[in-house]
Amino acid sequence: MTPEMKGFILVSVVKLVVVFTFVMILVAYATLLERWIAAWIQDRVGPNRAGPKGLFQPLADGLKNILKEEVIPGGASKVLFVIAPAISLMAALMIPLTIPWAAPIPLEFDVTLPLLGRIVHHGSTAAAVTVLPIGFLYVLAVSSVGVYGIALGGWASNNKYSLMGGLRATAQMVSYEVAMGLSVIPVLLLVGNVSFVEIVTAQQQGPFGWLVLPLGLSAFIFLVSGFAETNRVPFDMPESESELVAGYHTEYSAMKFSAFMIAEFAAMVTISMMFTTLFLGGWDIPGTHWDEAGGMAQFLLTAVVFFTKCLLFLFLFMWVRWTLPRFRYDQLMALGWKVLIPMGLAYVLFVAVAVWVVDGPLGVTSVAARSGLLFLFNVPVLAFVFRVLDRGRLIRGSSIRSPAPAPRRARAA
């Protein structure tokens, strides 16, 4: 093995450990943040007992869940019952690995270590565990695997409610994955690449660089499907406690339940990271090109910026959860299939035409002007869509489907 190869492996392992640790810590504290925000919104104080200000609460929760008894129901399919939370967790933790979370790290070393021998690393390394050229396609593929965890968990429990929860989750995630995929196609059209690193690079140019501006509707569809993909309120049908006890994890206890919770929060973190990367410029600091120069200070600061953006989204997730009520199941499906997917398709067409108009007949060459023009095209589209959505023409209740029955004859009284 060449010293360069060893260097690559060593750096990759270190990055892997760092990302995994960071995501797990973020997940642990997301649970605390969730409880705090729930409490604050309801004018309560929230957890404040474990440690200063309650900061050790995740630790206490974890310890409790590890020490609790694991119950496997009698009629359960044991193997699948045990594997299901692991599948969920793994799928959720595999996505952050491809996302660049800071500017490239300048790394130059040439050292000889005992046991390992000479290790060399030249140039900078991207701040993502792997730079996958297929980027977003990998995310779509892996996030679908998460459905298996939930569906299998629901089925293996041998419980009606669990099964219903699992089925709902499957239907919901499969439907919204289509909308999510469609919402990202305009990004790919504009950037011309599926790699996350390239998508971030493309967003660093010009005042309208962040794709949330030229592709506002995409961002909106992505956000809504993101909520549905992570099974969060207002789309938490898989575990709707008023109907299904606790949905697919009704029969789960102790650490296996915890694994499902971690998976849910990890999925939230992942969606936040992806939204940041796709639409909010990733680790880009707006209004300056200093962050692209490369260097240790740039690396650290851009990492902070990236995680601030992610935290904003985590907050949005929680804020929405404690504000909105749950959708009805038919409304959820109607929103997915009758609104978001056609809207996504139409928007792909719209963006394709707009890009063609801007690049062809108008002959705009500057990147800033290109995205600025697209932003201008988007304003009326967004206004129209929100107006239609606001009137509820597309997600109205069941009353519009069945015309009012003619008043029945008065019962013989």
Partner 1 sequence: MAIGVKVMHRPGSEASYVRATLKGMALTFRHLFRPKITMQYPEERSTETWTISPRWRGTHRMLTDEQGRSKCVACGLCPQICPANCIKLVPGEDEDGNRYPLIYEIDEFRCVFCGYCQEVCPEEAIHVGVHYENAEYERGRFVYDLERLSAQTHPVSSLWDPTDPRGE
Q: Which is nearer to partner 1, 160 or 393 (CB)?
A: 393
Helix (H, G, I), strand (E, B) or coil at 250: coil
Minimum distance from residue 7 beta carbon to partner 1 (Å): 47
Strands 117-121 and 105-106: unpaired
Closest CA to 159 of 260, 240, 74: 74
Minimum distance from residue 390 beta carbon to partner 1 (Å): 4
Minimum distance from residue 217 beta carbon to partner 1 (Å): 13
Minimum distance from residue 384 beta carbon to partner 1 (Å): 12
For 216, the enclosing helix (H) or strand (E) is: helix 216-229
Minimum distance from residue 310 beta carbon to partner 1 (Å): 19
Q: Which amino acid is at 400?
A: I
Q: Which is nearer to partner 1, 1 or 406 (CB)?
A: 406
Cis previous bond, 58, omega within 30: no
Q: Which is nearer to partner 1, 67 or 412 (CB)?
A: 412
Query: Footprint of partner 1 on this chain (CB under 8 A)?
Result: 37, 40-45, 48, 319-320, 322-324, 386, 389-393, 395-400, 402, 404-405, 408
**Residue 234 and residue 320: Cα distance in Å, rounded?**
8
**Residue 399 and residue 24: Cα distance in Å, rounded?**
45
Q: Which is nearer to partner 1, 139 or 339 (CB)?
A: 339
Q: Which is nearer to partner 1, 120 or 320 (CB)?
A: 320
> Tokens standing for 119?
């290790």
Helix (H, G, I), strand (E, B) or coil at 66: helix
Helix (H, G, I), strand (E, B) or coil at 49: coil
Q: Which is nearer to partner 1, 141 or 324 (CB)?
A: 324
Minimum distance from residue 318 beta carbon to partner 1 (Å): 10
Q: Which is nearer to partner 1, 268 or 318 (CB)?
A: 318
Q: Which is nearer to partner 1, 152 or 223 (CB)?
A: 223
User: What are the two backbone dihedrals, phi and then psi, of residue 164, each rounded to the nearest 5 degrees?
Assistant: -60, -45
Minimum distance from residue 62 beta carbon to partner 1 (Å): 25
Minimum distance from residue 275 beta carbon to partner 1 (Å): 17
Q: Which is nearer to partner 1, 37 or 305 (CB)?
A: 37
Minimum distance from residue 178 beta carbon to partner 1 (Å): 22
